[in-house]
């Protein structure tokens, strides 16, 4: 459910009617039963609610961030992870949590992605954003721009490229995927005039990927033009060097329909691309589109894995 004080409960409630229409799938919601009362779950034959009790009896007020809400979101997450580890489900969809709130509760990870990597014993995972318009992977995530630049390496780009090839081919069933790689600097460095990371780091990694996957990796391209080509179907996925480089164009085109997919886990994990949105929680203004898309993608990928 995510943070009970955010829009997680609202978008789940609004998505309930769509969940009931997804054939051959059952949905288990881990959260507070009281927050979903009256949203039509009782009549849905494929939706089940695991009521994770609030032991202290604290009341959650929509739109008002609290440590109680942050702690509750972690209880929901722990229960859902334990459930899927018992192989009771084929995919995990997480609601938005407050990074600030859970950090105050002792949560030591940057977010869901890093927590789940540890929970499932995986060293490397990638944050992929998926919509009908484009797919984007972030080579660096929640780092300052200075640290993100220092974190780039040939090895990481190569390893991420391999994982993206496998994801597109095996999970999305795209034979011979076309993957574009962004440059880091303006104009992709302009032959070294605006920076040398393209020549020293990015281009050698692309060449190595090209030797292993012929005709599948292209670039480095200037970021201000490659996303236009991706949105028009020119590429199946773009590899962005840092957080805002990839997410500004993605959210501009797919904010209400985009999905965050974690690649590299032994399970399928998706989430909506928005946060807790405390400013509109409880006002019935939240759009459920991204949550619905996350549920549909998780169900579809789980079905692909069973075939």
3-class secondary structure, 50: strand
Residue 150 lies in a domain: yes
Mean pLDDT along residues 209-224: 97
Output the six-digit token pair for 84.
Answer: 């899927």
Distance between CA atoms of residues 98 and 117, nearest Å = 19
Residue 145 lies in a domain: yes
Q: Is the pLDDT of residue 139 over 70?
A: yes
From residue 278, alpha-carbon distances to 32, 72, 266, 304 in Å are 17, 16, 32, 35
Number of H helices, E strands in the chain: 11, 10
Q: Please tell me the predicted confidence (pLDDT) of residue 20.
A: 78
Same domain, 117 and 218: no
Sorted by sequence, the CB contacts under 8 Å of residue 214 that are 6+ apart come out as none
Mean pLDDT along residues 281-298: 95
Same domain, 148 and 104: no
From residue 120, alpha-carbon distances to 164, 165, 231, 269 in Å are 19, 22, 33, 12
Same domain, 149 and 249: yes
Same domain, 101 and 139: no
Strands 237-240 and 135-138 turn out to be parallel
Q: Please tell me the predicted confidence (pLDDT) of residue 43.
A: 62
Same domain, 8 and 87: yes
Same domain, 116 and 139: no
Residue 208 lies in a domain: yes
| Least-confidence region, from 20-29, 154-163, 184-193, 206-215 | 20-29
Q: Is the pLDDT of residue 202 over 60?
A: yes
Q: Please tell me the predicted confidence (pLDDT) of residue 33.
A: 85
Same domain, 14 and 116: yes
Name all contacts of 54-63 with Cβ < 8 Å and 24+ positions apart: 60/4, 60/5, 60/32, 60/35, 61/5, 61/282, 62/5, 62/6, 62/9, 62/10, 62/281, 62/282, 63/5, 63/278, 63/279, 63/280, 63/281, 63/282, 63/283
Same domain, 118 and 142: no
Same domain, 9 and 72: yes
Q: Please tell me the predicted confidence (pLDDT) of residue 38.
A: 56
Output the six-digit token pair for 105.
Answer: 């509760």
Q: Is the pLDDT of residue 133 over 90?
A: yes
Count of domains for the chain: 2
Same domain, 50 and 165: no
| Least-confidence region, from 141-145, 165-169, 260-264 | 141-145
Q: Please tell me the predicted confidence (pLDDT) of residue 21.
A: 79
Contact call for residues 20 and 47 (beta carbons, < 8 A):
yes
Q: Is the pLDDT of residue 41 over 70?
A: no
Residue 303 lies in a domain: yes
Distance between CA atoms of residues 118 and 50, nearest Å = 24
Sorted by sequence, the CB contacts under 8 Å of residue 244 that are 6+ apart come out as none
Q: Please tell me the predicted confidence (pLDDT) of residue 303.
A: 87
**Segment 78-96, tens digit of pLDDT:** 999 999 999 999 999 999 9
CB atoms within 10 A of CB 289: 20
Same domain, 90 and 145: no
| Least-confidence region, from 6-20, 230-244, 289-303 | 6-20
DSSP string, 230-243: HHTTS-SEEEESSH
Q: What is the CATH number for 195?
A: 3.40.718.10
Mean pLDDT of the chain: 93
Chain-centre distance for alpha carbon 14: 20
pLDDT bin (cut points 50, 70, 90) of residue 305 is confident
**Segment 240-260, tens digit of pLDDT:** 999 999 999 999 999 999 999
Same domain, 49 and 155: no
Residue 128 lies in a domain: no
Q: Is the pLDDT of residue 40 over 60?
A: no
Contact call for residues 50 and 30 (beta carbons, < 8 A):
yes
Closest by Cα among 89, 220, 81 to 152: 220
Residue 76 lies in a domain: yes
Q: Which domain holds residue 240?
A: 133-256
pLDDT bin (cut points 50, 70, 90) of residue 19 is confident
**Segment 276-285, tens digit of pLDDT:** 999 999 999 9
Q: Which residue has the higher pLDDT, 204 or 19?
A: 204
Residue 298 lies in a domain: yes
Q: Please tell me the predicted confidence (pLDDT) of residue 12.
A: 93
Q: Is the pLDDT of residue 39 over 90?
A: no
Distance between CA atoms of residues 260 and 230, nearest Å = 17
Q: Please tell me the predicted confidence (pLDDT) of residue 6.
A: 96
């Amino acid at each position: 459910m995510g943070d009970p004080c955010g829009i997680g409960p609202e978008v789940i409630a609004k998505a309930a009617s769509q969940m009931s229409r997804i054939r051959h799938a059952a949905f288990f919601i881990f959260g507070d039963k009281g927050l979903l009362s009256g949203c039509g779950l009782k009549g849905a034959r494929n939706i089940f609610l695991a009521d994770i009790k609030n032991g202290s009896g604290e009341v959650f007020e929509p739109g008002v961030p609290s440590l109680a809400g942050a702690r509750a979101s972690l209880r929901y997450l722990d229960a859902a992870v334990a459930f899927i580890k018992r192989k009771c489900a084929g995919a995990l969809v997480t609601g938005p949590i407050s990074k600030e709130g859970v950090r105050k509760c002792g949560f030591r990870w940057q977010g869901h992605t890093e927590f789940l990597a540890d929970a499932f014993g995986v060293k490397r995972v990638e944050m992929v954003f998926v919509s009908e318009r484009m797919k984007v992977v972030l080579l660096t995530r929640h780092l300052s721009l200075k640290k993100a630049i220092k974190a780039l390496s040939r090895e990481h780009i190569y390893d991420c490229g391999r994982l993206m090839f496998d994801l597109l081919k095996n999970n999305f069933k795209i034979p011979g995927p076309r993957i574009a790689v962004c440059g880091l600097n303006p104009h992709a460095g302009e032959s070294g005039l605006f920076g040398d990371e393209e020549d020293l780091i990015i281009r050698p990694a692309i060449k190595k990927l090209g030797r292993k996957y012929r005709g599948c990796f292209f670039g480095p391209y200037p970021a201000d033009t490659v996303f236009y080509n991706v949105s028009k179907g020119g590429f199946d996925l773009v590899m962005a060097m840092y957080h805002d480089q990839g997410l500004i164009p993605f959210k501009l085109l797919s904010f209400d329909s985009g999905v965050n997919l974690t690649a590299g886990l032994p399970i399928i994990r998706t989430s909506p691309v928005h946060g807790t949105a405390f400013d509109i929680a409880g006002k019935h203004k939240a759009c459920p589109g991204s949550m619905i898309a996350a549920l549909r993608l998780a169900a579809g990928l789980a079905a692909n894995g069973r075939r």
